[in-house]
């Protein structure tokens, strides 16, 4: 993974001291609140319902055991002993004291972490596939390009005050596990007819109150032009994006207003000024970025281990966890472990300080000291020897992080909702508990197959409800929480927006409504058909008829 050089460390250290002085002046009454607002947002600090909330950057979701231990320490010393992983693969602390935030940032800087550009109208953390670099069908590891984008975009002076926040995702495999098509820019590593690897470029995707699937603006972009082309897109957006209405300011609105053909024309025209200029990536620069992500020193004898089969046969709980919570690895003898941050009746994505320390220990002992956070609020230990899986499972089980529910209905993406977020207008955590209590039979969940359930507490869609098999959106109706259900969305390579089932249901009826939906699925399902395929095949009417017939 990338390591700071002296320039990087100096920049982050100076930024900490700058914010320390800004905070001191604000607390002393020397800096008005409206002026401090922009300064704190530049350092990832929000003011939420109960307390400030600090969002810490985890570039492309990759971090070390040392950094995880620092996060555990910060949660103990400055917060309430836990953190919350987000769909942007960052981690949030919900209870820091404002006067202590500069100290937190100083501690983060000690392990090459920061909160820069985790908020505000700038280029946010670039995300990618959490299984990058370990997939046999991957065209190329996308992380070096994420790192190149990170270096280019961090504190970029021209793009520090965009019309709105800006999000980029990069993928390198046929499968899309980074929801790239609902990003402002989605980059897919592809191969052209000449066998060259470059990028397919999509622009104008996004969720929120106007959900849009991104549109292709370039089918093939040679690698060396990655930054100059991104620069051209950002320039067109920066010049033409609306600033008079924050709800109409995302690039998706501009692309839709201009039409993708005209938007592409503007980008290509801008690119003519930038192409082959100083932003052109040399082979040496790409290789330098790749050098941060070299394959580990895998044990060539790992494939010879024969103990896993015996352990799987001897312990059904371990076998179930192995099937649901581990994934194939391109190196024989290794598997990737998905750590479930969705324990029973606990908030999705939350992790305690004790659990953080445990993950750090496991990463260090069994996975080359690296950890990955995923956009669906779990963690990954990417490089675990098969012979170590039983020990890893036992440790995770002891830490309440081995629930074998990955890909099931209870592996939900859930934003914190009204309980924490100042923007939310409905609670989500209680609804997640209701669903967990209703569907606590794992055998039944396994029979249903993979189903994504995503939930947001407001129209801002931080829970990505638009692109779930079953999406849940909390809405406020005269002071009461109601929930709108959508079906048939996808954030994968077949990205599409879910369709609204009908009128919103009351808070105490959400789980029952899902039960009715699943009843239709089971009735109409062909063989082992997935929920998403059944919805596409039979349409919405059977679900509507069953849900609203039951309701009345």
Q: How far apart are the first and last CA of the chain?
A: 56
Q: How far is the C-alpha of 435 from the C-alpha of 112, rounded, in Å?
A: 39
Q: How far is the C-alpha of 131 from the C-alpha of 147, rounded, in Å?
A: 16
User: Whats the size of the chain, residue-wise?
Assistant: 552
User: Locate tokens 């596409």: which residue?
Assistant: 536
> With contact defined as beta carbons under 8 Å apart, do 73 and 81 qualify?
no
Q: How far is the C-alpha of 505 from the C-alpha of 500, rounded, in Å?
A: 12
Mean pLDDT of 245-271: 97
**CA torsion sign, 233 to 144 to 173 to 192?**
positive
> With contact defined as beta carbons under 8 Å apart, do 477 and 550 qualify?
no
What are the start and end residues of each CATH 3.30.413.10 domain in the chain?
A: 134-290, 413-548
| CATH of region 6-110 | 3.90.480.20
Q: Per residue in 207-218, pLDDT tens?
A: 999 999 999 999
State phi, psi for 133 to the nearest 5 degrees: 85, -10
Residues in contact with 151: Cβ distance below 8 Å, sequence separation at least 6, in sequence order: none
Q: CA nearest 393: which of 463, 455, 338, 449?
A: 338
| Radius of gyration in angstroms for the set of CA atoms belonging to the chain, rounded to a whole number | 23
Strands 470-477 and 453-456 turn out to be parallel
Mean pLDDT of 419-440: 93
Q: Per residue in 367-400, pLDDT tens?
A: 999 999 999 999 999 999 999 999 999 999 999 9
Instruction: Give the per-residue SS3 of 354-407.
Output: HHHHHHHHHHHHHCCCEEEECCCCCEEEEEEEHHHHHHHHHHHHHCCCCCCCCC
Element (H, E) at 146: helix 143-153
Element (H, E) at 454: strand 453-456
Mean pLDDT of 100-122: 96
What are the start and end residues of each CATH 3.90.480.20 domain in the chain?
A: 6-110, 302-399
- What is the predicted pLDDT for the residue at 2? 87
| CATH of region 413-548 | 3.30.413.10
Mean pLDDT, the chain, rounded, equals 96
- What is the predicted pLDDT for the residue at 423? 86
Mean pLDDT of 351-367: 98
Question: How many other C-beta atoms can be found within 10 angstroms of the C-beta atom of residue 11?
Answer: 15
Mean pLDDT of 195-203: 98
Q: How far is the C-alpha of 54 from the C-alpha of 45, rounded, in Å?
A: 5
Q: CA nearest 70: which of 95, 103, 98, 44?
A: 103
Q: How far is the C-alpha of 342 from the C-alpha of 351, rounded, in Å?
A: 9
* DSSP β-bridge partners for residue 381: 337
> With contact defined as beta carbons under 8 Å apart, do 526 and 516 qualify?
no
User: Locate tokens 């849900």: which residue?
Assistant: 547
Indicate whether 547 pLDDT > 60: yes
| CATH of region 134-290 | 3.30.413.10
> With contact defined as beta carbons under 8 Å apart, do 93 and 113 qualify?
no
Q: How far is the C-alpha of 89 from the C-alpha of 375, rounded, in Å?
A: 5
Q: What pLDDT band is residue 538 in, cutting at 50, 70 and 90?
A: very high
Q: Which residue has the higher pLDDT, 222 or 42?
A: 222
Q: Per residue in 68-99, pLDDT tens?
A: 999 999 999 999 999 999 999 999 999 999 99
> With contact defined as beta carbons under 8 Å apart, do 423 and 458 qualify?
yes
Q: What pLDDT band is residue 550 in, cutting at 50, 70 and 90?
A: low
Strands (E), 172-214: 185-191, 197-203
Q: What pLDDT band is residue 270 in, cutting at 50, 70 and 90?
A: very high
| CATH of region 302-399 | 3.90.480.20
Q: Per residue in 472-529, pLDDT tens?
A: 999 999 999 999 999 999 999 999 999 999 999 999 999 999 999 999 999 999 999 9
The CB-based long-range contact list for 548-551 (8 Å cut-off, 24+ gap) reads 548/502, 548/503, 550/512, 550/516, 551/505, 551/509, 551/513
pTM passes above 0.85: yes
């Amino acid at each position: 993974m990338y390591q700071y050089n002296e320039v990087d460390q100096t920049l982050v250290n100076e930024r900490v001291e700058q914010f320390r002085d800004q905070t001191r002046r604000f607390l002393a009454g020397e800096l008005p609140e409206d002026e401090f607002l922009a300064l704190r947002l530049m350092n990832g600090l929000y003011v939420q319902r109960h307390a400030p909330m600090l969002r810490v950057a985890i570039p492309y979701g990759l971090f070390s055991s040392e950094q995880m231990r620092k996060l555990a320490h910060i949660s103990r010393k400055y917060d309430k002993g836990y953190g919350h992983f987000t769909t942007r693969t960052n981690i949030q602390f919900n209870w820091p004291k404002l006067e202590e935030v500069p100290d937190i940032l100083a501690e983060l800087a000690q392990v090459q972490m920061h909160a820069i550009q985790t908020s505000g109208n700038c280029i946010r953390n670039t995300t990618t596939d959490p299984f990058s670099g370990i997939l046999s069908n991957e065209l190329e590891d996308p992380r070096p390009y994420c790192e190149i984008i990170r270096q280019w975009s961090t504190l970029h002076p021209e793009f520090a005050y965009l019309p709105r926040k800006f999000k980029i995702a990069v993928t390198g495999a046929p499968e899309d596990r980074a929801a790239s098509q609902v990003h402002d820019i989605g980059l897919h590593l592809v191969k052209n007819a000449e066998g060259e690897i470059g990028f397919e470029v999509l622009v104008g995707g996004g969720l929120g109150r106007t959900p849009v699937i991104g549109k292709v603006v370039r089918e093939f972009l040679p690698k060396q032009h990655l930054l100059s082309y991104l620069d051209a897109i950002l320039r067109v957006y920066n010049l033409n994006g609306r600033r008079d209405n924050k709800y109409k300011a995302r690039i998706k609105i501009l692309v839709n207003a201009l039409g993708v053909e005209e938007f592409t024309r503007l980008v290509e025209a801008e690119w003519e000024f930038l192409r082959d200029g100083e932003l052109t990536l040399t082979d040496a620069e790409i290789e330098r970025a790749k050098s941060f992500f070299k394959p580990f020193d895998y044990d060539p004898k790992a494939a010879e281990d024969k103990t896993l089969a015996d352990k799987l046969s001897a312990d059904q709980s371990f076998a179930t966890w192995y099937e649901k919570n581990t994934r194939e690895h391109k190196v024989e003898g290794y598997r990737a472990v998905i750590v479930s941050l969705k324990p029973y009746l606990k908030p999705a994505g939350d992790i305690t300080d004790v659990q953080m320390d445990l993950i750090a220990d496991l990463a260090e002992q069994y996975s080359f000291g690296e950890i990955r956070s995923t956009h669906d609020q779990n963690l990954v230990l990417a490089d675990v020897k098969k012979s170590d899986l039983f020990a890893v499972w036992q440790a995770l089980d002891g830490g309440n992080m081995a629930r074998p529910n990955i890909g099931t209905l209870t592996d939900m993406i859930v934003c914190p909702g009204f309980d924490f977020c100042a923007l939310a207008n409905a609670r989500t955590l209680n609804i997640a508990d209701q669903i967990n209590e209703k569907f606590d039979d794992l055998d039944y969940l396994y029979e249903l197959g993979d189903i994504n359930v995503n939930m947001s507490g407001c129209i801002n869609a931080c829970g990505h409800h638009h692109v779930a098999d079953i999406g849940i959106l909390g809405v406020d109706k005269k002071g009461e929480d109601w929930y709108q259900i959508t079906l048939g969305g996808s954030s994968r390579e077949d990205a599409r927006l879910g369709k609204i089932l009908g009128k919103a249901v009351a808070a105490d009826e959400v789980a029952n409504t899902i039960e009715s939906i699943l009843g239709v699925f089971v009735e109409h399902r062909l063989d082992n058909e997935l929920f998403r395929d059944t919805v596409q095949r039979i349409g919405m009417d059977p679900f509507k008829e069953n849900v609203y017939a039951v309701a009345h």
